Structure 1
Amino acid sequence: MTEIDFLPTPYLQTVETGTVSYKSPSNIALVKYWGKKENQIPQNPSISFTLDACATTTQVSFKKLEHKGVGFSFDLWFEGQQKEDFKPKINTFFSRIEQYLPFLKEYHFKIETSNSFPHSSGIASSASGMSALALCLMDIEKKLVGHMSAAFFIKKASFLARLGSGSACRSIEGTIVQWGAHKNTQGSSDLYGIKYPYEVHANFNNFQDTILLVDKGQKQVSSTVGHNLMHDHPYASERFKQAHDNLDKLMAVFKTGDLVEFIKIVESEALTLHAMMMTSLPYFILMKPNTLEIINKIWAFREQTGSHVCFTLDAGANVHVLYPENEKQKVYQFIKDELLVYCENQQYICDQIALGAKQLAGNHP
């Protein structure tokens, strides 16, 4: 599909007012997306686990205006309070998607959103937040169109979410989602995420992710700035090739359930992401001393016990501790005994992979 396929035909229905609500999860990339072209197109493909507990709930109430507005008309509420400082980001998002959702200037929207995880926890909420909003807007368009297939609804929601936050396109479905054109993945696209289309071994069922909140402060460098640093990066081309190669390797891993190889790929990807930031200009070290302490503890525990626990990182100091469900009790005890001491206020979030976003009934996010 191309961008043109997401341009709507004239709407057949008229809807004056209504309310829609979706809950959408965050996701954690195994093969990392770092570096983008224009229009939120990734420089390399990525693949992620869709999470469950870390999620954003968004409710959109809409009312048709008497006359189409010059700009976008909306109020934004975050966890019960109006947030004027969040509005520019939504305005930018609306500007990017208006050609695909031409009704946006015909309504006033009240957007109410909340996160299941604490704000300022160091967990990026753009993926869950933008995917939840995209789903709400798609639900409105579905009412205006009169009929829309479920498959197209999901693809266009992912396409729109990407224009708000690249990784948001991976939060619509689950449990494993791939985004970015990759020659060996049928149906893969730079425009939207797809549910991983091949066999996945039972070893990855209900895979666990305990997120250790090492640093809850504001990000040292924004994702947009970080991605842009890849344009002139001396190692960029090799990094993009590495991502393609690792996706090929993961296909065999997912099929056979080879957790040893899974660990090698996932941890290498995490460290590569941070290596690219440490070798860019300007350069950043986003890990904290406690990040490294946790990594070394995980390596030692794995060596001593033969566990299949491993780590991955986003563009920050927090650590995602990944492990299979059949090791849950043993690894969780290890986390409590040896890792929580390195977390800010000993805070952490228990999560696991899940099936993606859900439509909600009722009127409260």
Structure 2
Amino acid sequence: MTEILRASASACSNIAFIKYWGKQDFDLNVPLNDSLSMNLSAAVTTTTVEWDSSLSQDEIYLDGERILDGRGVRVSRFLDRIREQWYRMSARVASVNSFPAGTGVASSASGFAALATAAIGAFHEGLPDEVEMTRWARRGSGSACRSIQAGFVEWTAGSEDQSSFSRQFCPQDHWDLCDLIVLVSRKSKAISSSDGHRLAIAHPFMEARQEVLPARILALKGALANRDFRTFGELVEHEALEVQAIMMSGRPAALYMQPETLRVIHGLRRWRNEDGLPVYFTLDAGPNVHVLCEGREADQVLERLQQLVPGVEILVNRPGPAATLHQNHLL
């Protein structure tokens, strides 16, 4: 008799203010350093998992198309970890993103947070506690552990599997902070984040980076807790440029920024310096620009961005919710 166990979940992507770049353990995605992030309300992955005893192998679908390349292999390897502790059935997995994958919006973060939640939730035995769920998500993709809890999240690097986990730093309603993601490109990046982590380990700048990060993280946590936007923005912008410098000077070089990326960066710095508009930016491993402002400035910043790069899609994000189970099944 065929047995089918099904659940669906949604999870937000997140933007790291202190970056996760470089790993201690590549199998379990244990990072070199702590990081701090915000969930993105408009960058969401929804995933349905069906454990089906009649299947001979996993079936993976993304945005309606069956995936037969390395992305599907990565999902199946993660499901293998779950099968080791629960039931040894193959699964049918369907996912949809509200944003383009592989362009500097952390699709693997929302993807594996939603996948972990749906895959374990499908057993209807209750989810592990939130901290344990962050470990499960991390085993699929490091940054996914920051997408389990709502709002602003701190990932403690630790040194091995059990000591590497995330906790909420501030709740979703702590600060009306906006991240306007300017999607200057929808093309997948030439060097994946996974490859970038490996390149970072050998970079001569990484040792010095690890030495200064604890003080930077402490200062950023203080600015975030106190809603001190100027200090927050200066720290986040410096952090983004430092990590981009490591990316660009690696071998091979990871040149994620494009001409439109720099156009947006120069534009918002001009608005800040000449017009006094409080706006900052950060970047991930991709060309798209995360423009940061407080909620009261969001409409003005959005209007200026639309004039600066007409026709370019902009995702307007506030602090996003936790990963959640629901009944809106894709299968």
TM-score (norm 2): 0.90
Structure 2 residue matching 1:308: 3-state secondary structure: coil
1:192-244 superposed Cα distances (whole Å, 9 cap, x missing partner): 211116x99x8x62311111112222212111111111222111111123332
Does the CA contact (< 8 Å) of 2:103 and 2:287 recur in 1?
no
- Superposition pairs of residues 79-228 of structure 1, within 5 angstroms: 79-85=63-69, 86-99=71-84, 101-103=85-87, 105=88, 107-119=89-101, 123-141=105-123, 143-144=124-125, 152-181=128-157, 190-196=163-169, 205-228=175-198
**Are 1:30 and 2:14 counterparts?**
no
Aligned CA RMSD, in angstroms, stands at 2.4
For 1:50 and 1:360, the matched residues in 2 are separated by: 19
> Which residue of structure 2 aligns with residue 6 of structure 1?
none
TM-score (norm 1): 0.82
1:306-346 superposed Cα distances (whole Å, 9 cap, x missing partner): 222110000111100111011122212211222x24xxx52
Identity of aligned residues (%): 31
Question: Which sections of structure 1, spanning at least 5 residues, go unmatched?
Answer: 1-14, 183-188
Structure 2 residue matching 1:283: 3-state secondary structure: coil
How many correspondences in the alignment?
324
Structure 1 residue matching 2:131: 3-state secondary structure: helix
Q: Which has the larger radius of gyration?
A: 1
> Which residue of structure 2 aligns with residue 77 of structure 1?
61
Does the CA contact (< 8 Å) of 2:23 and 2:197 recur in 1?
yes
Query: Quick one: structure 1 residues 286 and 363, their matched pair in 2 at CA, closer, same or farther if it must change by over 3 Å?
Result: closer
Structure 2 residue matching 1:346: 3-state secondary structure: coil
> Which residue of structure 1 aligns with residue 34 of structure 2?
45
Structure 2 residue matching 1:247: 3-state secondary structure: helix
Return structure 1 stretches of 4+ with deviation > 6 angstroms: none
Partner AA of 2:225 in structure 1? K
The alpha-carbon deviation at position 45 of structure 1 amounts to: 0.7
- Superposition pairs of residues 237-252 of structure 1, within 5 angstroms: 237-252=207-222
> Which residue of structure 2 aligns with residue 8 of structure 1?
none
For 1:275 and 1:231, the matched residues in 2 are separated by: 14
> Which residue of structure 2 aligns with residue 300 of structure 1?
270
For 2:102 and 2:39, the matched residues in 1 are separated by: 21
> Which residue of structure 2 aligns with residue 353 of structure 1?
319
> Which residue of structure 2 aligns with residue 11 of structure 1?
none
Of 349-358 and 120-129, the range deviating more from structure 2: 120-129
1:40-80 superposed Cα distances (whole Å, 9 cap, x missing partner): 11001101011111111001122346xxx9xx832112222
**Are 1:336 and 2:306 counterparts?**
yes
Structure 1 residue matching 2:186: 3-state secondary structure: coil
Structure with greater proportional strand content: 2
The alpha-carbon deviation at position 290 of structure 1 amounts to: 1.8
Does the CA contact (< 8 Å) of 2:9 and 2:324 recur in 1?
yes
Does the CA contact (< 8 Å) of 2:49 and 2:122 recur in 1?
no
Structure 2 residue matching 1:285: 3-state secondary structure: coil
The alpha-carbon deviation at position 276 of structure 1 amounts to: 0.8
